[in-house]
Amino acid sequence: MVFVIGLDASALPIIVPAITDTFNSMHLIGWYGSAYLVIIGLAFQVFNNIYPISCRIWGGTGLLVFKFASFLSFEGGSLCCYLASNGASVLLGRVFCGIGVAGIFSGITSCLADKYPPHGKSRHSRIAVLFLTYALSRFVGPLIGAAIMDQLGTATAWRYVFLTNLSAIAISVFPILNWLPAYYRQSKKYQSLHGTSAAKMSILLSLFEVDIL
């Protein structure tokens, strides 16, 4: 799953010029990647608050629902990009992908933190594997994106990069949902969800205002 996320992020710069040419959306060229990253930053902390609260209230069911919703968000975003009829549709798809990635990463890192002891070698080795997998995908992603663009050689070949994401996520979603542990540490120290959301939404609106001006 982490590998697919890395592929999605690293292949995007290869296909952005083709997307811009297709929709004549030069004014959005900087936001196709930036919106994705901004949303991840905003949503990650929100998920970090929601996950333990939902587990405390609903147990493993709440965890499963949020994990599956994150996968659906990433799938829906990729589908929106694949079927996009204008630049704004691609941008909207990237936003949903960012929400999904934030939920997935929050779930994975929280599970690793709760399943393995803080000072044990098991946690460190698995975190290392996680980052190595992501680093490898960042190297392979541009190669795959360039290969798809080169082999198809059409103005809309970029759509098939998002189609590849759809296929890969669909294959990996069910094994991952079964593998991730359903146990979360019950902590009473939560950040203010409303305060965190309001602050980060203010940052997001400020960024969009700067872009408009």
What would the DSSP string read from start to end of 89-111? HHHHHHHHHHHHHHHHHHHHHHH
CATH number at residue 109: 1.20.1250.20
- Alpha helices by DSSP H, listed for the chain, are 2-23, 31-58, 60-82, 87-115, 121-152, 159-179, 193-212
Question: Which amino acid type is present at position 191?
Answer: Q
Please tell me whether residue 186 adopts helix, strand or coil conformation: coil
Confidence at residue 19, expressed as pLDDT on a 0 to 100 scale: 92
| Owning domain of residue 44 | 2-212
How many Å is the maximal CA-CA distance in the chain?
A: 55
pLDDT value of residue 60: 63
pTM of the full predicted structure? 0.78
Identity of the amino acid at 210: V
Residue 23: predicted pLDDT? 92
The three-point CA angle 163-166-171 to 5° equals 130
* Residue-level pLDDT at 73: 92
- Nearest 10 degrees: Cα torsion 75, 47, 102, 37: 120
How does pLDDT run along the chain (213 residues), one tens digit per residue?
778 888 888 889 889 999 999 999 888 888 888 888 888 888 888 887 787 777 677 766 667 777 788 888 998 999 999 999 999 999 999 999 999 988 888 877 777 666 666 666 666 777 778 778 888 888 888 888 888 888 887 778 899 989 888 877 777 766 665 555 444 444 444 444 455 455 445 544 554 444 444
Closest CA to 98 of 161, 191, 34: 34
Provide the pLDDT for residue 212: 40
Please tell me the total count of domains within the chain: 1
Q: By percentage, how much of the chain surpasses pLDDT 70? A: 70
Cα–Cα nearest to 101, from 7, 185, 190? 7
Instruction: Report the pLDDT value the prediction gives residue 104, as an integer from 0 to 100.
Output: 84
pLDDT of 47 reads 83
Q: What is the pLDDT of residue 91?
A: 93
Residue indicated by tokens 């969009």: 208
Amino acid 118: pLDDT: 63
Q: Which residue has the tokens 């602050």?
A: 199
Q: What's the confidence (pLDDT) of residue 76?
A: 92
